[in-house]
Structure 1
Amino acid sequence: MSARTGPDPSGASRDVAFRPNWTARAGWALLALYALYAATQLGFEPERLASGLGHGRQFLARMFPPNFSRWELIQSGIAESLQIAVIATVIGIAVALPIGFLAARNLMPPWVTWPMRALIALCRSFHPIIVAILFVKAIGFGALAGVMALIVASVGFIAKLFAEAIEEISLKQVEAVRATGAGFLSTLIMGVQPQVLPRFIGFATYQLDSNLRNSTMVGIVGGGGIGATLFTAYQRFDYDVVLAILIVIVTLIMVAEIVSGWARRVFQ
C-alpha cells in the first residue's frame, strides 16, 4: 500500500487557475475612477437628471396618440429615403469592389495597398452626418447630398470588409487557377470571387440596411428623405406627427431586416 506524498497536483492547478489578476483588477479600478471623474467634469447632476425625466414625461404625453393625417407627406419622405438608400448602396458597392481588391495585401504589392487603405480609412473617419453636412454646404440641400454622404460611408465599410475577406481566402485555389495560364482578371473571377461571394452578399445586405437607417439621420441635416420630414415636424411642435413618423421608420427598418435576412439565406 503506497501513500501519496508531496503537494496535491490538482490543488496546485486550482490555485494557479484561480489566482487573482491584480493587474487587470487595478486597470478596471482605474477605469471606474476615471469614469466618475469624467462625469463630474461633464456636469452630470442628479437634480438635472430628475428635472429632465419630468420634461421627458410631458414630451411623451404630447406625442400620444400618433397623428397619421399627413400620410401623403410621410409616404413621400419614406419613398425618398428608400431611393437614397438603394442608390447609395449600389454606387457605393460598385466603387468599393475595386478598392477592396486593390487593398488586399495578399494579392497586391504594398505600393498599391497602402494608398487604397488610406482612402478606406479616410472614408471611415467621419460619421455620415458629418459628411452629409459637408455635402449640404457644397451642393445644397436635397437628396443628392444624402446620397453622396452614404456613398462615402458605403465605400469605407464595404471596401474594408471586402479587403479583409480576400486576405483570409485560401491561396491554393488561386494558384491552381494561375497554373492553368489564366490572366489576372480570370484569376479574380475563378479563384477569388467564389471564396468571398457569400460574405460579400452579407456585407451588401447589411450595408443596405445601414444606409436605410442612416438616410433618416442625414435628412435631419438637410440630406432629404424622411429625416427632413421628421425635423420639420419637430420644429412645428407637431409631436403627434413625430410619433407617427417614428412608428413608420421603425416598421420600415424591421421590414428591411426581414428582407435582408431572407436575401442572405437565399443567395449564400
Structure 2
Amino acid sequence: MLDNFFAKKRLNTLLYCSLLLLLTIIAIVITNYNVIKGFTSIPKAAEWVFNNFYPDQKALKRLPVIISGLTETVLVSIAATTVAAVFALMFAMAGSHSTGKGGVFSMVSQSIATIFRNIDVSAWSMILLISFGQNVLTGYFALFFGSFGFLTRAFIESIDEVSSSSVEALRSTGAGYFAIVFQSVIPSCIPQLISWILFMMETNIRQATLIGILTGTGIGFLFSLYYKSLNYSAASLIVLVLVMTIFVIETISNYVRKVIL
C-alpha cells in the first residue's frame, strides 16, 4: 500500500512537471522568444553592468538628494502599512470565523479583502493617477490599498488559527464580544500580526520604488530620472543605497520576529 502511495505521488509530480514544460513551450512559441539568444546575451549584459553601472565620485555628490528621496519612500511605506493594518484588523475581526458575526457582513468583509488583494499596487497606481495625479498621495493610497487586502487575508487566517480554542472557552463563560476580542484574540494573535505587518512593510519599501517611477515621487522618480538621462553612475548609487536600506530593515525585522515569536 505504501508503494502505491509513492508511485501515485511520483506520477502526479511527473504530470505537473510535464504540464509546466508544455505551458513553457507554448509561451515560447506564442511570444517568438529566442531562448538561445536570451541565454547568450547574459554575459554581454553582465559586462555592460560592470563597465557602466557603478557609482563614481560625481555620483556621490548627489547622495543627499538620494537620501532625501529614500527617506520619503520609506516614510510613505511605513505610514501606508501601519494605517492599512488598523483597517485590516477591523475587517479581519468581522470576516473571521472565530470573531465574526457571520452571514452577509462576514462575506462582504472577505470579498472586499479579496478584491483589494488581487489588484497589484502598480495597477492601483495607474488607477489612482487619474484622480490624484503624480504626487505622494497617489503612491500612499496605492500602497495602502494593496497592504489592506493582503493584511486582511493574513489577519483572518492568523485569528482563525490561533484563537479558536480560547474564544470558545471565553464564550462558554458568558464573556461579551469585546471582552473576547481584547482579552483573548488580540493577545494571542499579536505576535503573528506584528510579523505580518513587518513583512508587509519590507515588501512596500521595495514596491514603493516601482510606484515612484509611475507617480514621479521618491527614490523611484530619481532612479527613472538618472537612468533616462544616461547618468548610470547616479542610478547605480540609488540601487546600492536601496539594497543596503532593505537589508538593514530586513535585519531589524527578523530580529523583532525572533524576539516576539
1:107 to 2:96 alignment: no
For residue 175 of structure 1, report the CA deviation from its aligned partner. Answer: 3.3
1:57 to 2:37 alignment: no
- Counterpart CA distance in 2 for 1:97 and 1:27 is 37
Q: What residue is the counterpart of 2:228 in the other structure?
A: 235
Deviation by residue 1:175-226 (Cα, 9 ceiling, x = unmatched): 3333444321111111211221111111111111111111111101015211
C-alpha distance 16-239 of structure 1, shift in aligned 2 (>3 A) = same
- Counterpart CA distance in 2 for 1:267 and 1:120 is 26
Q: TM (normalized to structure 1)?
A: 0.86
Deviation by residue 1:90-133 (Cα, 9 ceiling, x = unmatched): 11111111011111023321312110111001111111111112
Aligned length in residues: 256
What value does the CA root-mean-square deviation take over the aligned residues? 2.3
Three-state SS of the structure 2 residue aligned to 1:168 is helix
C-alpha distance 47-28 of structure 1, shift in aligned 2 (>3 A) = closer
Q: Which moved more, 1:107-116 or 1:20-29?
A: 20-29
Give ranges in structure 2 of 5+ residues lacking alignment: none
| Identity level (%) | 25
Q: Which moved more, 1:51-60 or 1:121-130?
A: 51-60
1:39 to 2:31 alignment: no
C-alpha distance 71-172 of structure 1, shift in aligned 2 (>3 A) = closer
For residue 75 of structure 1, report the CA deviation from its aligned partner. Answer: 1.1
C-alpha distance 130-29 of structure 1, shift in aligned 2 (>3 A) = same
Q: What residue is the counterpart of 1:4 in the other structure?
A: none
Checking the alignment, whether the CA contact within 8 Å between 2:209 and 2:219 is kept in structure 1 is: yes
Deviation by residue 1:32-63 (Cα, 9 ceiling, x = unmatched): 23322221211111346545753563354221
1:71 to 2:60 alignment: no
Q: Which moved more, 1:34-43 or 1:232-241?
A: 34-43
In proportion to residue count, which structure has more helix? Answer: 2
- Counterpart CA distance in 2 for 1:200 and 1:240 is 40
Three-state SS of the structure 1 residue aligned to 2:60 is coil
Q: Which amino acid aligns with 1:198?
A: P
Structure 2 counterpart of 1:194, from 187, 190, 205: 187
- Counterpart CA distance in 2 for 1:221 and 1:82 is 17
Q: Which amino acid aligns with 2:205?
A: L
- Counterpart CA distance in 1 for 2:7 and 2:183 is 53
C-alpha distance 102-239 of structure 1, shift in aligned 2 (>3 A) = same
Give ranges in structure 1 of 5+ residues lacking alignment: 1-12
Checking the alignment, whether the CA contact within 8 Å between 1:133 and 1:221 is kept in structure 2 is: yes
Checking the alignment, whether the CA contact within 8 Å between 1:141 and 1:224 is kept in structure 2 is: yes
Checking the alignment, whether the CA contact within 8 Å between 1:174 and 1:191 is kept in structure 2 is: yes
